[in-house]
Amino acid sequence: MYIPAHFAENRPEQLQRIIREHPLGTLVSHADGGLDADHLPFEFDPAVGPHGLLSAHVARANPVWQRCPTGSPVMVIFRGAQAYISPTWYPSKHETHRQVPTWNYEVVHAHGVLTVRDDERFVRGIVARLTRRHEATEPSPWKMGDSAPEYIASMLCNIVGIEIAITSLVGKVKLSQNRELRDRIGAADTLQARGHEELAALMRPTE
């Protein structure tokens, strides 16, 4: 990934924030057939190992867990807030007419080593934890106990768990840092007015 110095994000707390707030990751793997990508919701535990641990599950019918056995190197991409930026949102554009369109975004590449976890206890645990997290804001959160035990057992038999021990985290946060402050704020104001509150907030100066 090309990262100009002014867009580099190296702070662990910010890299972890992006993963935590945008848990649907793109698992990129390579095998004899070439590159492939799977889109999976991940659980992230930053306290395990030097850079953290990612956990997820895939359908048993998905060949990724057989194509990439334990020990395979993989990469997971987590994309955070993002949006198109028009040069017309920059006050300086209307003075100099020397601006062009761009795209602002935040992204983390998590490199690591995959472990296949084909056991019922692991997949039951990861499903329960993911469910608790993502159902937490529902008025009546769904839980595994809402379904008949035999139904849940049959569903768990159809998935396989995976873990990825992260070996490095590479981050890029492109928020118009290379623009004049008034242009950055002008773009943030327009984004907020158009419903991109998360990206707009990230673009505003913190001091």
Q: Is the pLDDT of residue 115 over 90?
A: yes
DSSP secondary structure of 144-160 = GGGS-HHHHHHHHTTEE
Q: Is the pLDDT of residue 95 over 90?
A: no
CA distances in angstroms from 41 to 91, 104, 186, 200, 207, listed in the order given: 40, 23, 34, 25, 34
Mean pLDDT of all residues in 183-194: 96
Q: Is the pLDDT of residue 1 over 90?
A: yes
What domain range includes position 33?
Answer: 5-179
Mean pLDDT, the chain, integer: 95
- Classify residue 57: in a domain, yes or no: yes
Residue-wise pLDDT tens digits, 127-161:
999 999 999 999 999 999 899 999 999 999 999 99
Give CA 86 to chain center in angstroms. 25
- Classify residue 207: in a domain, yes or no: no
Q: In the chain, what are the helix, strand and coil shares in percent, each to the nearest 5?
A: 35, 35, 30
Residue-level pLDDT at 98: 75
- Classify residue 193: in a domain, yes or no: no
Q: Do the beta carbons of residue 176 and residue 77 sit within 8 Å?
A: no
Could you count the other beta carbons within 10 Å of the beta carbon of residue 41? 13
Residue-level pLDDT at 165: 98
Residues whose CB is less than 8 angstroms from the CB of residue 57 and which lie 6 or more positions away in sequence, other chains included: 40, 123, 126, 127, 159, 160, 161, 162
Rg of the chain taking only CA atoms, in angstroms: 20
- Classify residue 59: in a domain, yes or no: yes
- Classify residue 199: in a domain, yes or no: no
Bridge-based pairing of strands 102-117 and 159-174 is antiparallel
Q: Is the pLDDT of residue 201 over 80?
A: yes
- Classify residue 202: in a domain, yes or no: no
Residue-level pLDDT at 207: 64
Percent of the chain with pLDDT over 70: 99
Which CATH number is 36's domain given?
Answer: 2.30.110.10
Task: Look up residue 135 and give its two tokens.
Answer: 């159902």
- Classify residue 194: in a domain, yes or no: no
Within the chain, residue ranges assigned H as helices are 12-21, 64-67, 93-96, 120-135, 149-156, 181-193, 197-203
Domain count, the chain: 1
Q: Model pTM?
A: 0.93
Percent of the chain with pLDDT over 90: 92
